Structure 1
Amino acid sequence: MILVFGTVCLDRIRRIPALPGPGTYVEIESETTLLGGEAANTAAALTSWGADVRLCGNPLGEGPEADYLRALLEQRSLVVEAAGEPPPRFRTPVCDIYVTPDGDRTMFGLGFSAMEPVFDPKLLPLIRGEWFTAEPNMGGVSRQAARAALGAGMKVYLMDFIRDDDPVAPGSIWQSSTDWAGFRGDVVRNTEWVRRLVDRTGCFAILSDGPNGLVAGSPELEVRAYPPFPSPPIVDTTGAGDMFRAAMLYGLSQDWPIGRSLAFAAASGSLSVRSLGATSLIASIDEINDLVSSHPGIAQQYAEAV
């Protein structure tokens, strides 16, 4: 079982020709509303690949937006197990995402700052030896949940926990991107940054840098750079990190070697940029494996991760 804890929301994605300057106007070319949120994206991918998933996160609220969000979850055979009672005046979180032709995105959130429930760790289905993953968008609640999972003896995978006091424990897995940590486009500095994190925490660390590949390592595994798999034409980079995390967790839950899991995750992240949003077109296991096998030179570099 993989327990995915974190954000569940609506992603309202709008394609625009360019971001407008101050006081100017731009026409929205298209709009679509999708299931979103880091936890929901990750759980949707894992479920599509046949993994046993429990999704636990923020309240969904009431009203038309909440009803639509529940319908999108039902389409993915997902049910959100609430982590506690909703705070006062809670509303369904919605993320407005503006995507330009180069695939870059600008995001505006509504309802996220008030999404922390009155947390009750007894509501979490914590099972010793199973996987737990979280991102920090629910602030203190996310950190409490991660500490509860560690205390229960779960295997912990944390994404974007970048504070020095975050619960990154020896033997856990940490993932983030150069949107949040490290240095975009600088492999040497990113390698050193990851090495310092590994030395400080004892975790297995993964720092992705989009089209520049990633750096990964642990106390047992050499900290080194890995190349990216070629991506299709970029439509939208929303959720690429969530697809990477889901694929990494899938491989780990199947007891794959770490290099195979890393390659599968990197290929999954590359394929995720071919469509709007994270969940409109989730790559199949066969598609991901085909991308890996069609680039044996790159795959070999991942296979050398020992």
Structure 2
Amino acid sequence: MKVGVFSCKSYDREFFNNRNHNYGYELEFLDCALTPETALLTKPFDAISVFVDDIVNREVLDTLKESGIHHIALRCSGFNNIDLEYAKEIGIGVSRVPRYSPESVAEHTIALILALDRRLFKAYSRVVDNNFELEGLLGFNLANKKIGVIGTGAIGQALIKILLGFGCRVLCNDINPSDQIKSLGCDYVSLQDLIKNADVITLHCPLTAESQHLIDHEAVQNMKDGVMLINTSRGGLVNTKALLAGLKSNKIGYLGIDMYEMESELLNHDLLCEKVDDDIYQRLATFPNVLITGHQGFFTRESMIQVTDTTLSNLQYFFAGKICAETFLN
């Protein structure tokens, strides 16, 4: 069976080629993203695999149907970039990778928190210039700080276990509270109470129509002065203009993001988020108390192995005429 792998990077090729010996697919790697303009490239394939920035709207789905594509294997957990209802309507199956090394994102979150708190980039730049002055590098202890974790799924739970090791008091918010997290002594509170009381707020929930701009102007204004805000989930959870306003007023004292709201405007498209001009991103990047990474949170060897194996396994289910309840979306 021939599978087209869109938005492919060198590391995708490495891991898919290394793991494909268990499956024997004919894989063709395409550097380009799947868009209305590139959708015709799917004609030679029996199925395709896409990533978070590929566009799978009605126009693309119609082209896939005409090309004889009956399955799309997402290499990610999120699926806001695909019109899932229309895919089901026209008979195109969709699978995803719901879990991949939650520790990788949790640990990246901790890395952002510590780098911002201890101003590691500024400190490193000084030492490189033989400047060992400590002025302006004062940090704070994580021990006894209130850390607000919004979203206590697999990643949120992995993060909470790390935070408890630092001696933090963890405040949680989720529409489905976890008994396991409660048993660890963590409190579930309303979103409003979490935003009002947390010294550090970190986001670990999916992007949906309901959660888009969960952090907006009002939320920022209700935060503690000098709060640290971390987003290693999806960019659209926060209103970037609200972040800028909070940074300018010093309401937000530290900002760490692995996802920019309109990051796909820098690459392809993001269907769910409203338009934000690129100069807003450029302005955001000028703040010395902002640390931005580019979808790096998941990027560990362990995570890539799990993403690859799950994607190939999903394709195996499809070609065998079966479904996997955990990973198939329709």
Q: TM-score w.r.t. structure 1 length?
A: 0.30
Larger radius of gyration: 2
- The structure with higher relative contact order (CA 8 Å, sep 6+) is 2
Q: TM-score w.r.t. structure 2 length?
A: 0.28
